[in-house]
Amino acid sequence: MTSSAAETLSVVVEREIPHPPEKIWRALTQPHLIEEWLMKTDFKPAADHRFSLRGDWGSVDCKVVEIEPHRTLSYTWAAMGLESVVTWTLTPTRTGTHLRMEQVGFRPDQQQAYQGARYGWQQFFAKLEQVLARAE
């Protein structure tokens, strides 16, 4: 039996952020800013660009899947047996931006990775909000 997409788990984090999409986009796509809230990276905002995210614990191999400036950014996220896709969606609101991050592709037997991601993204979002509050 093969596992279908329906059997995989996803992590979703959503926030209302009091900054315009353009400002959040910079924090999601500029390597020196990504490094402040996520990990060291050689990211470039270009379709099919391969990049890595490097943390104290190891690294993540990624590839840009979809990019629509100020609206959508999607990239693969492969680390320690996990093959997943992270998608950022930015929706302008009256007071700023609704930011949604979804990481899909956790198999049921990857509970440790899944729980780690659920915890980790909350931390990353908190740092992202700090970077946005500081950055011009």
Cα R_g (the chain), whole angstroms: 15
Taking the C-alpha atoms of residue 121 and residue 55, their distance in angstroms, rounded to an integer, is 14
pLDDT at 6 (0 to 100):
62
Q: List, in order of start, the domains of the chain with CATH numbers.
A: 13-134 (3.30.530.20)
3-class SS of residue 97: strand
pLDDT at 4 (0 to 100):
52
Q: Residue 108: is its pLDDT beyond 80? A: yes
Distances (CA, A) of 38 to 5, 8, 48, 56, 107: 27, 24, 20, 12, 23
pLDDT at 123 (0 to 100):
96
Whether pTM > 0.75 for this model: the answer is yes
